[in-house]
């Protein structure tokens, strides 16, 4: 009796959550995949035709936006690694007793709505806003100078919004490094740079990888930053998908685009995860 | 303190300054949000400083549909935090404690939910609900929020369960406690802080979510959706006031939780 209960226990514990994920994650993905191969419209209904043409059309029509999203995502991610590393490094090695306070400060933006933060940047960066207006008045900027509506503004917004997701995992990796390992390298006459390159950096790489996973996917599929800070020439694929799904109710097209994006992003993610093991990444992700 | 600070190498001082610069950058829009809640704008746009006033705090809840959007957001966040807390704790506990068939698949699904673009989770739920003819609204938003929160809660709880010292449970069993008593009297109190932080995380994920909500809301309006809709016509100062109140409440909860856990660890 007791043994039966013990072997059943994990299944009973897992069942409700597992069903939820099955019904509302796995099934919708399958529905979406099936829709991506259908033809028709919202009024007359959809028929399953095994219509791969949707994918070809999707890629042909929106290649520019798809590529742009990946480029923005990549630029953002690379910039994030460069910008976040020193912050994570300083907190991990010199933060001392104040480490939790610094991490808390890094996380402060999360207490304000993502949409509100992004709109706030629009108000700062707008042509007659508090940043550009005084500079233009002082004659420091040419009249036609804009920030808003450019790809710089969109990438700036992406970097801003995802920075904590890069600092945190790198910090976690650096925090685990025993300072004595670095001291040992120095005792063996490594220069500070060599010690960093040969000891600290390799140990920090899993954190960098985790950070890349946590920022590349949301950054390349984001549509809030490009809608709020960008213009028609900075449209990202997320905006296209959103319009196709919500405004045009063109579900087959939205589904085909979504699957294309998902395939590109997740093949990268799983390639990474294979190299590193998912456990480590999830541990960092859950912090 | 001061002699060591003076003898800090230049590189370290540069990194210290840089870290604070980044923090300043991160909090700039927050400060602006707080400041402009006290602004007295004359036009539709609340983006240049035109004088101090407290009137928006008095009129904070005067925009009816903004207030109801905030109430809806809070309701959904509470319900989905509790639901995903319960479901996620079950999964996290089972994964941390037992090896069982299907565990690896579950891990894979959880990893996929955490790393999937929110946009795509939103669209896929939309296609499901539309195909099934389910009306969109607060219920479908909650379903979606529970879905993406479960894996986060489960991951936090599993991390705690894995590091659990089994000998404490064995001691309880040796003292004659049955498995049920042992779980509720010994194991559960130990993992409770992890469950609590999982639930808080789920609450935070839910209340801030815009992307998935946008696709599963139908005509329902949550706080982020209301802000999104109002951007084209200019945000009223009440949004800044509510944002400031949410921010303050969040920071206070975090600080209190942190102080409590610190005093607890000092007692141990």
Contact A14 B106 (CB under 8 A): yes
DSSP symbols for A76-139: HHHHHHHHHHHHHHHHHHH-GGGHHHHHHHHHGGGGS-HHHHHHHHHHHHSTTSTTHHHHHHTT
The answer to whether residue B3 scores a pLDDT higher than 60 is: no
Average pLDDT score over chain B: 88
Distances (CA, A) of A164 to A8, A83, A91, A109: 41, 11, 13, 9
Strands A45-48 and A38-41: antiparallel
Candidates A16, A24, A87; nearest CB to B147: A24
Set of chain A residues whose Cβ sits within 8 Å of the Cβ of B131: 31, 35
Inter-chain residue contact B115 with A124, CB threshold 8 Å: no
- Domains of chain A as residue ranges with CATH: 1-36 (no CATH), 50-286 (1.10.3720.10)
* Alpha carbons B195 and B206: distance in angstroms, whole number: 16
The Cα of A152 is separated from the nearest Cα of chain B by a number of Å equal to: 16
Helix, strand, or coil here: A54? helix
Put simply, whether B229 touches A (Cβ < 8 Å) is no
The DSSP element (H or E) to which A151 belongs, if any, is: helix A151-175
pTM over 0.90: no
Distance between CA atoms of A197 and A182, rounded to whole angstroms? Answer: 11
Chain B residue whose CA is closest to A237: B119
For residues A11 and A21, give the distance between their C-alpha atoms in angstroms, rounded to a whole number: 15
B34 contacts chain A (CB < 8 A): no
| Cα–Cα distance, A25 to A287 (Å, whole number) | 23
Question: What pLDDT was estimated at residue A279?
Answer: 54
CB distance from B113 to chain A under 8 Å?
Answer: yes
Residue A244 has pLDDT above 70, yes or no: yes
Q: Is the pLDDT of residue B120 over 80?
A: yes
- Please check the confidence at residue A280 and state whether its pLDDT lies above 60: no
How many pairs of residues across A and B have Cβ atoms under 8 Å apart? 246
Q: Which residue of A has its CA nearest to B249?
A: A111
B-chain residues near A25 (CB < 8 A): 109, 112-113, 121, 124, 147
- Residue to mutate among B4, B7, B19, with most A CBs inside 10 A, is B19
Tokens 């996917």 sit at which residue?
A: A217
Tell me, what's the pLDDT at B5? 47
Q: Residue B96 and residue B195: Cα distance in Å, rounded?
A: 13
Locate A229 and state its tokens.
């800070």
Chain B, window 127-166: residues with a beta carbon less than 8 angstroms from a chain A beta carbon: 127-128, 130-131, 143-144, 146-147, 150-152, 154-156, 159
Model confidence band, residue B10 (pLDDT cutoffs 50, 70, 90): confident
Interface membership of B26 toward A (CB under 8 Å): yes
- Please name the residues in contact with B48: beta carbons below 8 A apart, sequence gap of 6 or more: A128, A130, B41
Angle between the N-to-C axes of helices A251-276 and A27-36, in degrees from 0 to 180, rounded to the nearest 10: 130
When CB atoms are compared, the residue of B98, B127, B227 closest to A255 is B127
**Residues A127-147: tens digit of each pLDDT:** 877 788 778 778 787 777 888
Contact call for A108 and B100, based on CB within 8 A: no
DSSP state of B231: G
pLDDT band per the 50, 70, 90 thresholds, residue A287: very low
* Beta carbons of B110 and B152 less than 8 angstroms apart: no
Instruction: Give which of B161, B187, B138 is closest to B88, Cα–Cα.
Output: B161
Give which of A1, A3, A7, A10 to mutate to test B binding, by max B Cβ within 10 Å. A10
Residues B160-211 have pLDDT tens digits of 999 888 888 888 888 888 888 888 888 889 899 899 989 999 998 999 899 9
Buried b vs exposed e over A12-50: b needs ≥16 C-beta within 10 Å? ebbeebbebbeebbeebbebbbbbbbbeeeeeeebeeee
Query: pLDDT class for A4, splitting at 50, 70, 90?
Result: low
Chain-chain contact of B12 with A94 (C-beta, under 8 angstroms): yes
Nearest chain A residue to B239 by CA distance is A116
For A54, the token pair is 């949707």
Q: Which helix (H) or strand (E) holds B191?
A: helix B188-208
Residues 6 or more apart from B174 whose CB is under 8 A from it?
none
For residue A281 the two structure tokens come to 């990444």
Gap between the Cα atoms of A257 and A66, Å rounded: 9
Q: Which domains does chain B have, with CATH numbers?
A: 64-235 (1.10.3720.10)
Q: Has residue A35 got a pLDDT over 80?
A: yes
Average pLDDT over residues B94-116: 90
For range B238-251, the mean pLDDT = 91
Q: Judge whether B46 and B234 are in contact, CB under 8 Å.
A: yes
CB contact under 8 A, B116 and A261: no
Which of B12, B123, B235 is nearest residue A245 as measured by Cβ atoms? B123
Say how far apart CA A158 and CA A259 lie, in whole Å: 22
B240 pLDDT higher than 80: yes
Mean pLDDT of chain A: 86
Q: What is the 3-state secondary structure (H, E, C) of A3-67?
A: HHHHHHHHHHHHHHHHHHHHHHHHHHHHHHHHHHCEEEECCCEEEECCCCHHHHHHHHHHHHHHH
pLDDT, residue A283, reads: 52
Q: Report d(CA A213, CA A210) in Å as an integer.
A: 5
| Structure tokens that stand for A244 in this block | 């196709």
Taking CA atoms, what residue in A is nearest to B46?
Answer: A123
Following DSSP, what letter does each residue of B99-159 receive, concatenated? --TTHHHHHHHHHHHHHS-HHHHHHHHHHHHHHHTPPPSHHHHHHHHHHHHHHHHHHHHHH
The residue among A72, A28, A284 whose CA lies nearest residue B109 is A28
User: Across A50-54, A56-60, A124-128, B241-245, which has the greatest mean pLDDT?
Assistant: B241-245
Distance from CA of A13 to the nearest CA of B (A): 5
Q: Count of alpha carbons within 13 Å of B188, Cβ hemisphere only?
A: 10
Q: Comparing A272 with B134, which gets the higher pLDDT?
A: B134
**pLDDT, tens digit (0-9, with 9 covering 90-100), for A161-207:** 999 999 999 999 999 888 888 888 888 888 888 888 888 888 888 88
Min distance A15 CA to chain B CA atoms (Å) = 8
């Amino acid at each position: 009796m007791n043994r039966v209960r013990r072997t059943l226990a994990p299944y009973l514990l897992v069942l409700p959550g597992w069903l939820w994920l099955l019904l509302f994650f796995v099934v919708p993905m399958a529905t979406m995949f099936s829709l991506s191969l259908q033809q028709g419209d919202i009024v007359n209904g959809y028929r399953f035709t095994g219509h791969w043409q949707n994918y070809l059309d999707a890629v042909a029509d929106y290649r520019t936006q798809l590529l742009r999203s990946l480029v923005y995502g990549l630029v953002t991610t690379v910039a994030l690694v460069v910008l976040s590393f020193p912050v994570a490094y300083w907190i991990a090695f010199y933060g001392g007793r104040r480490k939790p306070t610094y991490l808390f400060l890094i996380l402060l933006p999360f207490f304000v709505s993502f949409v509100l933060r992004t709109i706030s940047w629009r108000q700062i960066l707008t042509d007659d806003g508090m940043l550009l207006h005084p500079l233009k008045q002082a004659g420091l900027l040419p009249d036609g100078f804009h920030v808003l509506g450019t790809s710089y503004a969109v990438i700036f917004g992406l970097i801003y919004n995802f920075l904590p997701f890069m600092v945190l995992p790198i910090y976690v990796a650096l925090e685990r490094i025993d300072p004595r390992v670095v001291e040992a390298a120095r005792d063996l006459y490594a220069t500070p740079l060599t010690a960093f390159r040969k000891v600290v950096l390799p140990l920090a790489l899993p954190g960098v990888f985790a950070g890349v996973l946590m920022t590349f996917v949301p950054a390349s599929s984001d549509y809030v930053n490009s809608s709020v800070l960008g213009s028609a020439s900075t449209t990202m694929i997320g905006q296209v998908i959103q319009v196709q799904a919500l405004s045009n109710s063109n579900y087959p097209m939205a589904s085909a685009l979504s699957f294309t994006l998902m395939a590109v992003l997740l093949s990268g993610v799983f390639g990474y995860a294979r190299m590193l093991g998912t456990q480590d990444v999830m541990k960092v992700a859950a912090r | 303190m001061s002699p060591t600070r003076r003898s800090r190498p230049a590189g370290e001082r540069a990194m210290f300054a840089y870290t604070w610069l980044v923090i300043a950058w991160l909090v700039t829009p927050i400060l602006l949000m707080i400041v402009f809640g006290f602004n007295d704008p004359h036009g539709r746009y609340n983006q240049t400083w035109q004088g101090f006033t407290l009137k928006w705090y008095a009129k904070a809840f005067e925009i009816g549909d903004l207030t109801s959007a905030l109430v809806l957001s809070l309701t959904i966040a509470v319900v989905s935090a509790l639901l995903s807390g319960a479901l996620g704790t079950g999964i996290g506990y089972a994964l941390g404690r037992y090896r069982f068939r299907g565990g690896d698949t579950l891990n894979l699904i959880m990893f996929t939910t955490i790393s999937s673009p929110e946009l795509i989770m939103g669209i896929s739920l939309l296609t499901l609900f539309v195909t099934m003819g389910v009306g969109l609204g607060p219920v479908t938003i909650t379903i979606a929020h529970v879905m993406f929160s479960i894996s986060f809660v489960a991951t936090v709880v599993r991390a705690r369960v894995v590091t659990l010292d089994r000998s404490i449970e064995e001691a309880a069993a040796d003292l004659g406690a049955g498995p049920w008593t042992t779980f509720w009297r010994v194991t559960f109190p130990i993992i409770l802080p992890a469950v609590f932080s999982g639930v808080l995380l789920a609450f935070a994920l839910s209340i801030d979510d815009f992307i998935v909500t946008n696709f599963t809301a139908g005509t329902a309006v949550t706080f982020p959706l209301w802000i999104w809709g109002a951007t084209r016509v200019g945000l009223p100062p009440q949004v800044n006031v509510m944002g400031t109140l949410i921010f303050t409440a969040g920071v206070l909860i975090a600080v209190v939780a942190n102080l409590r856990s610190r005093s607890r660890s000092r007692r141990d």
